[in-house]
Structure 1
Amino acid sequence: MATHGDALRRRLGLTDSVIIGLGSMVGAGIFAALAPAAAAAGDWLLLALAVAALLAYCNATSSARLAALYPVSGGTYVYGRERLGAFWGYLAGWGFVAGKTASCAAMALTVGSYAWPEHSRVIAVAAVAAVTAINYTGVQKSALATRIIVAAVLAVLALVVGVGLFGSHSAATDLPDRIGPRGVLAAAGLLFFAFAGYARIATLGEEVRDPRRTIPRAIMIALGLALAVYALVAVAVLEVLGSAGLAHAIDPLARVVSAAGVPGSAPVVRVGAVLAAAGSLLALILGVSRTVLAMARDRHLPGALAAVHPRFGVPHRAELAVGAVVAVVAGTFDLRAAIGFSSFTVLVYYLIANVSAATLTAAENRPARWVPIAGAAGCVIVGLSLPVGSVLAGLAVLAVGGCWYAARSRSARS
Structure 2
Amino acid sequence: MTATPGPATLSRRLGLADAVVIGLASMIGAGAFVSLGAAQDLAGALAPLAVLVAAVVALCNATSTAQLAAQHPTSGGTYHYGRAQLGPWWGFLAGWCFVIGKIASCAAMALVIAAYLAPEPAQRLVAALVVAVLTAVNLVGITRTAALARILVTVAIAALVLTGVRLLVGGVGDGAAGGGDPLADAIPGPLAGAAAGLWDGGLAAVLGAGSGGVGGIALAVIQAAALMFFAFAGYARVATLGEEVTDPRRTIPRAILLALAAVCGLYVVLSVVLVLVGPAPGGQGWGPAPFLAALDAVGAGGIWHVIVTVGAVAAASGALLALVAGVSRTVLAMARERDLPPVLAHVSPRFSVPQRAEVAAGVAVLLLVLFASNVLVAVAASSFGVLLYYAIANLAALTQVGEWRLFPKVMQWVGLVGCVLLVGALPGRTIVAGLVVIAVGVAYRVAVRRVAGRAAG
Q: TM-score, normalised by structure 1?
A: 0.96
Please state if 1:228 is matched with 2:252. no
Equivalent residue number for residue 259 of structure 1: 297
Partner of residue 109, structure 2: 107
Q: How far does residue 343 in structure 1 lie from its aligned partner after superposition?
A: 0.1
Pick which of 197-206 and 260-269 moved more. Answer: 260-269
Q: How does 1:73-92 map to 2 (within 5 A)?
A: 73-92=75-94
Contact 1:76 1:349 in 2 (8 A): yes
* Distance apart, 1:39 and its partner CA: 2.4
User: Is 1:43–1:243's contact at 8 Å kept on the other side of the alignment?
Assistant: no
Indicate whether 1:63 and 2:65 are aligned: yes
Report whether the alignment pairs 1:305 with 2:311.
Answer: no
Q: How does 1:5-404 map to 2 (within 5 A)?
A: 5-118=7-120, 119-167=122-170, 168-172=174-178, 174=185, 176=189, 178=212, 179-242=216-279, 247-264=285-302, 265-333=304-372, 334-404=374-444
In structure 2, distance between residues paired with 1:278 and 1:407: 37
CA distance in 2, matches of 1:396, 1:3: 32
Asked if structure 2 preserves the Cα contact closer than 8 Å seen for 1:25 and 1:194, the reply is yes
Separation of aligned partners in 2, 1:339 and 1:51: 18
Give the C-alpha shift of residue 246 in structure 1.
8.4
Q: What amino acid sits opposite 2:308 in the alignment?
A: V
- Counterpart amino acid of residue 149 in structure 2: T
Q: Match for 1:256: what amino acid?
A: A
Shift of residue 10, structure 1, vs aligned partner: 0.3
Q: 1:4 to 1:307 in 2, by over 3 A?
A: closer
Query: What amino acid does structure 1 have at the position aligned with 2:432?
Result: L
8 Å contact kept, 2:6–2:349: no
Contact 1:42 1:243 in 2 (8 A): no
The aligned residue for residue 200 of structure 2 is none
How far apart, CA to CA, are the structure 2 residues paired with 1:230 and 1:117?
A: 28
Q: Which moved more, 1:125-134 or 1:163-172?
A: 163-172
Whole-Å Cα distance in 2 between the matches of residues 340 and 89 of structure 1? Answer: 23
Corresponding residue SS for 1:7: coil
Q: Distance in 2 between matches of 1:48 and 1:305?
A: 39
Q: CA RMSD in A?
A: 1.6
Q: Which one-letter code corresponds to 2:369 in the other structure?
A: A
Give per-residue Cα distances to partners, 1:223-272, cap 9 Å, x unaligned.
Answer: 00001111111111111132676833342111222322332211221121
Query: Contact between 1:96 and 1:345, CA under 8 Å: does it hold in 2?
Result: yes
Shift of 1:217: 0.2
After the TM superposition, which of the residue ranges 241-250 and 325-334 deviates more from structure 2?
Answer: 241-250
**Equivalent residue of 1:397, what SS?**
helix
Single out whichever of 294-303 and 33-42 deviates more from structure 2.
33-42
Whether the aligned pair in 2 keeps the contact of 1:254 and 1:267 (CA below 8 Å) is no
**One-letter code of the match for 2:161?**
A
Deviation at 1:40, TM superposition (A): 2.1
Distance 1:172 1:229 in 2: 24
Distance 1:268 1:288 in 2: 30
Residue ranges of structure 2 left out of the alignment (5+ in a row): 180-184, 190-209
Once residues 98 and 75 of structure 1 are traced to their aligned partners in structure 2, the CA distance between those partners, rounded to angstroms, is 14
Larger radius of gyration between Structure 1 and Structure 2: 2
Same amino acid, percent of matched pairs:
47
Unaligned stretches of 5+ residues in structure 1: none
Q: Retained in 1: the 8 A contact 2:280–2:294?
A: no
Moved more, 232-241 or 58-67: 232-241
Quick one: structure 1 residues 65 and 109, their matched pair in 2 at CA, closer, same or farther if it must change by over 3 Å? same
1:293, 1:116 → 2: CA distance?
34
TM-score, length-normalised on structure 2?
Answer: 0.87
Moved over 3 A (4+): 1-4, 172-175, 243-246
Contact map agreement 1:20 1:143 (CA 8 A) in 2: yes
Aligned equivalents of 1:186, 1:353: Cα separation in 2: 22
Q: Does structure 1 conserve the Cα–Cα contact (< 8 Å) formed by 2:109 and 2:317?
A: yes
- Is residue 149–residue 321 contact of structure 2 (8 Å, CA) maintained in 1? yes
* Matching residue's letter, 1:237: L
Tell me, in whole angstroms, the C-alpha distance in 1 between the residues paired with 2:295 and 2:331. 41
Instruction: Give the conservation status (yes or no) of the 8 Å contact 1:22–1:150.
Output: yes
Alpha-carbon offset, residue 390 of structure 1? 1.3
Which digits, 9 at most, give the CA deviation of each residue in 1:297-347, with x for residues without a partner? 111111111111111111011111111110111111021111101101110
For residues 194 and 266 of structure 1, the distance between their equivalents in structure 2, rounded to whole angstroms, comes to 22
Task: Provide the C-alpha distance between the structure 2 equivalents of 1:243 and 1:49, rounded to a whole number of angstroms.
Answer: 18
How many Å apart are 1:408 and its aligned residue? 2.2
Q: Distance in 2 between matches of 1:117 and 1:209?
A: 44
- Choose 252-261 or 203-212, whichever is displaced more: 252-261
